[in-house]
Structure 1
């Protein structure tokens, strides 16, 4: 098995919409309870992602759905154009309702997507995507 390239936390950012954990090749988002996320509310996050990964560093976005929140899935259309280096989108889900929501969100993405029930499996998937790119 190749070495795990993703373990070192680079920095945690707390924004109005949630907490974001940046690693070398992925980030984990934990949105705040009850927040509604759209493109405008995600602007600060999008700028942070661009600062960390630019256009060339491959990365995976993982959402850890520990809280209930709303997301405008069409925002993916706008944000996808900003990140040609996005290699995947993972969702860590803890209940059937959020599983259905995550499945719907996947239809709006043009990168590999996967649903997980724990962080460890999601991080292992990052390794697979990045190392096999």
Structure 2
């Protein structure tokens, strides 16, 4: 599937779990150190995603993993059902530990 992505910056949102940069078809996250992401503490983020993209506009998510954090991988199954327009996920890592964590997490991400 090919999409015409127009990645113009829209806005920056500072949520309790981190900073989120919204573009027309892309989100870049900088999650805070030590945060454990769950479906519950991501509810504000999920609401923002819905307000920006709904269930029609295709979007991708990039995690800029400069800080160490974790998420409950099985929780992703709940959120992925909310967004049939979610087309891809990427992780930028800066050390070997976060690279290994990201490699493990990819088995739980459905796009």
What band does the TM-score fall into relative to the shorter chain? Answer: over 0.9
| Number of aligned positions between the proteins | 108
Q: 1:86 to 1:4 in 2, by over 3 A?
A: closer
Residue 9 (structure 1) aligns with: 9
- Structure-1 residue corresponding to 2:108: 108
**3-state SS of 2:67 partner:** coil
Query: Match for residue 72 of structure 2?
Result: 72
Following TM superposition, by how much is the alpha carbon of 1:4 offset from its aligned partner in structure 2, in angstroms?
Answer: 7.1
SS at match of 1:74: helix
- Superposition pairs of residues 1-133 of structure 1, within 5 angstroms: 5-6=6-7, 8-111=8-111
Q: Which runs of 5+ in 2 are unaligned?
A: none
> Equivalents in 1 of 2:78, 2:53: separation in Å?
17
- The TM-score with structure 1 as length reference comes to 0.78
What RMSD, in angstroms, separates the aligned Cα atoms of the two structures? Answer: 1.3
Would you identify which runs of 4 or more consecutive aligned residues in structure 1 move more than 4 Å?
none
- Report the structure, 1 or 2, having the larger strand content: 2
Q: Distance in 2 between matches of 1:34 and 1:108?
A: 20
- For structure 1, the residue ranges without an aligned partner over 5 or more in a row are 112-133
